[in-house]
Amino acid sequence: MNEQKKEEMIIRLVNVSKVFDETTAVENVSFYVRKGEFITFLGPSGCGKTTTLRMIAGFDIPTSGKILLNGQDITDLPPNKRPVNTVFQRYALFPHYNIYDNIAFGLKMKKVPVTYRNEKGETYTKMQKLTRREIDEKVKNALAVVDLEGFEKRSVSTLSGGQQQRVAIARAIVNEPEILLLDEPLGALDLKMRKEMQIELKEMHRKLGITFIYVTHDQEEALTMSDTIVVMKDGCIQQIGTPTDIYNEPANAFVADFIGDSNILNGTMVDKLTVRFCNRNFRCVDDFERNEKVDVVVRPEDIEMCPPEQGMLVGRVVSVVFKGVHYEITAMVGRSEMIIQSTQSRTVGELIGMNIAPDAIHIMKKELTSNRYDGYITKKNTVVFGDGEFECDVTTLYPGSHLDEDGYLITAQGEKIDLTDADVSVEVGLTDIEISDNADEGGARGHIVSLIYKGDHYQYIVRTEENEEDFVLDTEDLWNENDYVSVKIRPENIHMKLKQEIK
Amino acid sequence: MVRVHFNRRQLCIPYGLFLALFVVIPMLLILFYAFTEEVDGILTFTFSNFLNFFTSTAKLSTLLMSFTVAIISTAICLAIAYPVAYILARSKLRRRNVLLMLFILPMWINFVLRITALRELLDLVGLLGTQNYLNTIIGMVYDFLPFMILPLYTTLEKLDESYLEAAADLGANPFTVFTKVTFPLSMPGVISGITMVFMPSMTNYVVSDTLSNFNITILGKLIDQYFTTYDNWHMGSMISIILLVIIFLTMLATGGFKDDGREARGANLW
Amino acid sequence: MVKRIVSVAICVAVLLFIYAPILLLVVYSFTDSNVIGKWDGFSFALYADLFRDAEIMQILFNTVWLALVAALLSTALGTAGAVGIFYSKRKFAKPLQAASQIPVINAEIVTAISLALLFSALFLYRTYFSLIVGHMVLCTPFVVLSVMPKLKQMDPNTYEAALDLGASPSQVLFKVVVPQIFSGILSGFMLSITLSLDDYIVTAFTKPPMFDTISTYVYNAVKNGTNNSTPALRALSALIFIVMIAVLLVINLRARKPAQKEAAK
């Protein structure tokens, strides 16, 4: 960070965490906000964005970490002593005051230094309350900013939601705060009103020149209004960047999924600037280690449809929804689902080809914690995935169930279920896979295509021949690349989930 | 959500101390007195008050009589209040609010004066001095009727019309609608009314004294007598404990603990 | 139509039962007769007697004075208590609320003797102190019960908004919280007044020996058989009935109108 940037930093959070009765709302968050910036915290509910805002406002005190305002530590300063004002989601206007008194509330609390000159000609300053005239003037100006001139004497209950929101904004900005905090301020408004207010807020930000810190769960709102977006999840920051950066270069699959619509696919880097997904190799512009498991993100509008014979991918259309500006077409490519946005329509059942340009393929490092597969249950109550067949415990699909003599599953409620061909998602931990020389011993077979030494163990990737499915495993044993091995997994280590309820 | 560290929580300290000193400790004192007796100026632990109560025919018959009077009074109250509350809540009579207020207005007027007025009326019709039990029951009903009407009205008024329409739609006749839908749904009101009437009917001795010319001793009067006439506070405390157990059991039986008592006392009138 | 007639008949009958004694007393307060049932011509003589009776006037004064003091103290204590309980953590709030319910559920005679036991142990039995505390024990829980729902209805963000706008915690309390719960405080106060005016049993066990309220005076007059020899008491009752009914009707009808308009919106 260079010196100039540091100077214009207005607020800075350093390793801030907040724990409420054992649940961590915000975990070790650090970031700074530049003076005059419009910054937005974006994330699903419960991601810690509102708690972060409340800590800046002073309503919640961080469990650990520091908050610096213009370089000064304000971590424990009560809210009434902070030069920061908040616009609340549900307005929080005082119902017992009229509009004037609501807006004047903060001004009446305020004391400002006034300079006097005594008989000796010495100057001295005294802290004084604002005069009635000054307050009148400021209230009038604030009402003008929010387009509510002449509303002074109205009572809160006579205003519409949008008008109340404007009063709430006026009540905050009239105090000329250094930072304006907005906690989902448009959340309670209807769509049309919300769009209007977005533009107005942005305009207000431009005119007033103060820093806006905005909280929302609406990604479109964040993209429209912000200079900078902070994406949060589970109390942690996922990515900080401009709207364009966040949209075009999401840092991980979560961000990609949360911002805009996207197809997220499992892929593997098979060569330099080449990624393999949906059983096909694609050229791409991001480079990662060979054989690394990656998340591939493709925006629906970046998939071009073409006749099947010309497409890199071929899929069958399963649904078409008209969305006003475009059609949203869902196609199945093998067992993967692709969402396509296009101005052209297709009919359900049709075969289509799809092309994706290299720069439309966004590749993200995968935080690999387990192997995930799509599989199905056989007649013998085994599970097929990753080009192999494995023994498994199907009773884990239904808590409290058991198998009868004929191999049917009996649920805890006594229902009899035939699991044959049921689609399941399978998860296997990295340390739960064993490999062996004996080709007949395991459920699947393949060559070791990669081995990485990770300090105290090796990480291997075993790739099958038929569909090039990968098994990633951690073990201390040493094997060689290109060894042909079989993959063994104990039934209790195969974690399965039904994709659909069996009828 | 953890709130800003501030002294507004400390505002409950005076009230907490007040409750501890003037509510909790006095209740513990009753317990203490109930299980002690004074022998040669020294307080000693004893069960004799307890045994004495349950071996004394006079005390047990007082308890039984008091219980009977309270049950009859409560039943009559309910029988009168239910139709009134039902009419007020469900019929299309004009100015229902004013009517309701006329029914519950007496609870704001000093009850000693109202009972004395009733005494004059009973005197005029010749019941005073001849029908002590009847008079007491009339008095209890007279005094506590509003406490029964109000909670019943509140629940009946809140009753969603669509339940009744649904029942009728499914083929129930008006009588069945009442017995299968209206009455079961008004049970919270019935219960809170019963708890508001039953207990005072066992204890409010001003009513029984005034209307029976001091000839009927209900349980509340018995406690009063042990304190003021016989000067045996230990026995008085024991009877109080027994009364508390009865209150507790009736509340347990009716589930009346859920009620905050406020509605039943008509506090929402102000 | 039949239903309507039955409805009206039931209402009229019950109202007659409720108001007959009151009406009887009011009517016979306008005749100078010692016993009810004997009409000696229309006269204000009993009222004249009433206002000349220094003892009764003193008792009237005592009753009102006691009610005002007890209600004011109860309202202050109960409002602070409710705010404190509302903002406290559950583990503190729960026991307080439970203790607060005791006087509400308890039989009055038990409350009365419990206070008698306490004050005799403290050597304060039958003093003004024990009397006022006794009435506060009766009233304060109802103030808490009146204020609590208003606190719950309050938008919790208004408290934070006021802090945010620079008000100190105590300023917030008086400028934002109290105004929003004021209707609850007021109804708690009114309720306290009526509970205090209505009380006999606790008063009887806590009052100083030479102090009387209307309740204790009238009860004792009945007990000693002297009530018939003071017909002025009839005028007192009648006066209280008339005044109370008039006041209550006016307050409630006025309070209900804006509420209905609000509800109609």
B4: chain A residues, CB-CB within 8 Å: 58-59, 61, 78-79
What tokens were used for C43? Answer: 């006269």
A130: chain C residues, CB-CB within 8 Å: none
First to last CA, chain C: 32
Which domains, from first to last, does chain B contain?
A: 65-269 (1.10.3720.10)
Least confident of A308-322, A453-467, B34-48, C137-151: A453-467
User: What is the per-residue pLDDT across A49-65, written as a single tens digit (0 to 9) for each?
Assistant: 999 999 999 989 999 99
Confidence class of residue C228 from pLDDT cuts 50, 70 and 90?
Answer: low
CA–CA distance, B261 with B251 (Å, rounded to integer) = 12
User: What is the per-residue pLDDT across A63-100, written as a single tens digit (0 to 9) for each?
Assistant: 999 999 998 999 988 888 899 999 998 888 998 899 99
Q: Is the per-residue pLDDT at A140 higher than 70?
A: yes
**Chain-centre distance of CA A248, in angstroms?**
14
Question: What is the pairing mode between strands A84-87 and A38-42?
Answer: unpaired
pLDDT of res. B269: 47
First to last CA, chain A: 59
Q: Does the beta carbon of A171 lie under 8 angstroms from any beta carbon of chain C?
A: yes
C264: chain A residues, CB-CB within 8 Å: none
Task: Specify the length of chain A in residues.
Answer: 503
pLDDT of res. A397: 84
User: What is the per-residue pLDDT across C26-38, written as a single tens digit (0 to 9) for each?
Assistant: 888 888 877 777 7
What tokens were used for B71? Answer: 């049950």
Least confident of A166-170, A436-440, B71-75: A436-440
CA–CA distance, A97 with A153 (Å, rounded to integer) = 9
Contact B15 C78 (CB under 8 A): yes
User: What is the per-residue pLDDT across B106-159, written as a single tens digit (0 to 9) for each?
Assistant: 888 889 999 999 998 998 898 888 889 999 999 999 999 999 999 999 899 888
Q: Which 156-185 residues of chain B touch chain C by CB within 8 A?
A: none
Whether the complex's predicted ipTM is more than 0.95 is answered with: no
Q: Is the per-residue pLDDT at C264 higher than 50?
A: no
C168: chain A residues, CB-CB within 8 Å: 80
The Cβ-side half-sphere exposure at A29, using a 13 Å CA radius, reads: 35
User: What is the per-residue pLDDT across C85-102, written as a single tens digit (0 to 9) for each?
Assistant: 998 888 888 999 999 989
Grouping H, G, I as helix, E, B as strand and the rest as coil, residue C27 is helix
Sign of the torsion angle spanned by Cα atoms C232, C235, C239, C245:
positive
Name the neighbours of A, counting chains with at least 3 Cβ pairs within 8 A.
Answer: B, C
The shortest CB-CB distance from B27 to any of C102, C108, C223 is to C102
Contact C218 B118 (CB under 8 A): no
CA–CA distance, C161 with A436 (Å, rounded to integer) = 66
Picking from C194, C90, C69, C85, the residue whose alpha carbon sits closest to that of residue C147 is C85
Confidence class of residue B257 from pLDDT cuts 50, 70 and 90?
Answer: low
Check: CB of residue C175 under 8 Å from CB of residue C158. no
- Provide Rg for chain C, Cα atoms: 23
A223: enclosing H helix or E strand: helix A219-225
pLDDT of res. A7: 53
Q: Does the beta carbon of B43 lie under 8 angstroms from any beta carbon of chain C?
A: no
Q: Is the per-residue pLDDT at C230 higher than 90?
A: no
Confidence class of residue B2 from pLDDT cuts 50, 70 and 90?
Answer: very low
Neighbours of A410 (CB within 10 A): 16
Confidence class of residue A334 from pLDDT cuts 50, 70 and 90?
Answer: confident
Contact C163 A94 (CB under 8 A): no
Rounded to a whole number of angstroms, the distance from the CA of B9 to the nearest CA of chain A is 16
Check: CB of residue A196 under 8 Å from CB of residue A165. no
E strand segments, A221-262: 228-233, 236-241
| CATH code matching the domain that covers C56-238, chosen among 3.10.440.10, 1.10.3720.10, 3.50.50.60, 1.10.357.10 | 1.10.3720.10
In what side-by-side order are the strands of the sheet with A9-20?
A23-34, A9-20, A64-69, A72-73
Check: CB of residue C78 under 8 Å from CB of residue C84. no
The Cβ-side half-sphere exposure at A7, using a 13 Å CA radius, reads: 3
Confidence class of residue A368 from pLDDT cuts 50, 70 and 90?
Answer: low
Q: Is the per-residue pLDDT at C263 higher than 60?
A: no
B2: chain A residues, CB-CB within 8 Å: 20, 60-61
User: What is the per-residue pLDDT across C181-200, written as a single tens digit (0 to 9) for each?
Assistant: 999 999 999 999 989 998 99
Q: Is the per-residue pLDDT at B3 higher than 60?
A: no
Name the neighbours of B, counting chains with at least 3 Cβ pairs within 8 A.
Answer: A, C
B220: chain C residues, CB-CB within 8 Å: 107-109, 201
Within chain C, residue ranges assigned H as helices are 2-28, 45-52, 54-87, 90-105, 108-121, 128-153, 156-164, 169-172, 178-198, 201-206, 214-223, 232-264
Grouping H, G, I as helix, E, B as strand and the rest as coil, residue A128 is strand
Q: Please provide the average confidence, as pLDDT, over all residues in chain B.
A: 85
pLDDT of res. A45: 84
Confidence class of residue B5 from pLDDT cuts 50, 70 and 90?
Answer: very low
What mean pLDDT comes out for the span B30-36? 92
Rounded to a whole number of angstroms, the distance from the CA of A225 to the nearest CA of chain C is 24
Q: Is the per-residue pLDDT at A471 higher than 70?
A: yes
Confidence class of residue A454 from pLDDT cuts 50, 70 and 90?
Answer: low
Rounded to a whole number of angstroms, the distance from the CA of B105 to the nearest CA of chain C is 7
What is the share, in percent, of chain C residues with pLDDT greater than 70? 95
Contact A59 B5 (CB under 8 A): no
Q: Please report where in the chains the tokens 């805002």 appear, as a residue.
A: A53
pLDDT of res. B163: 83
C176: chain A residues, CB-CB within 8 Å: 94
Q: DSSP of chain B, one letter per residue?
A: -PPPP-GGGGGHHHHHHHHIIIIIHHHHHHHHHHTEEEETTEEEE-SHHHHHHHH-HHHHHHHHHHHHHHHHHHHHHHHHHHHHHHHHHHS--TTHHHHHHHHHGGGGS-HHHHHHHHHHHHHHTT-TTT-HHHHHHHHHHHHHHHHHHHHHHHHHHHS-HHHHHHHHHTT--HHHHIIIIIHHHTHHHHHHHHHHHHHHHHH-HHHHHHHTTT----HHHHHHHHHHTS--HHHHHHHHHHHHHHHHHHHHHHTGGGS-STTTTTGGG-
CA–CA distance, C213 with C200 (Å, rounded to integer) = 8
pTM of the model: 0.76
The residue of chain C with its CA nearest to that of A88 is: C157
User: What is the per-residue pLDDT across B94-120, written as a single tens digit (0 to 9) for each?
Assistant: 677 778 888 888 888 889 999 999 998
Residue A184 region, left (φ>0) first, then alpha (ψ -120 to 50), else beta?
left
The Cβ-side half-sphere exposure at C15, using a 13 Å CA radius, reads: 15
Which domains, from first to last, does chain A contain?
A: 1-83+177-260 (3.40.50.300), 92-160 (no CATH), 261-365 (2.40.50.140), 373-498 (2.40.50.140)
What mean pLDDT comes out for the span A13-31? 90
Q: Where are the domains of chain C?
A: 56-238
Confidence class of residue A393 from pLDDT cuts 50, 70 and 90?
Answer: confident
User: What is the per-residue pLDDT across C233-248, written as a single tens digit (0 to 9) for each?
Assistant: 888 888 888 888 888 7
pLDDT of res. C265: 35
Confidence class of residue B222 from pLDDT cuts 50, 70 and 90?
Answer: very high
Q: Does the beta carbon of A77 lie under 8 angstroms from any beta carbon of chain B?
A: no
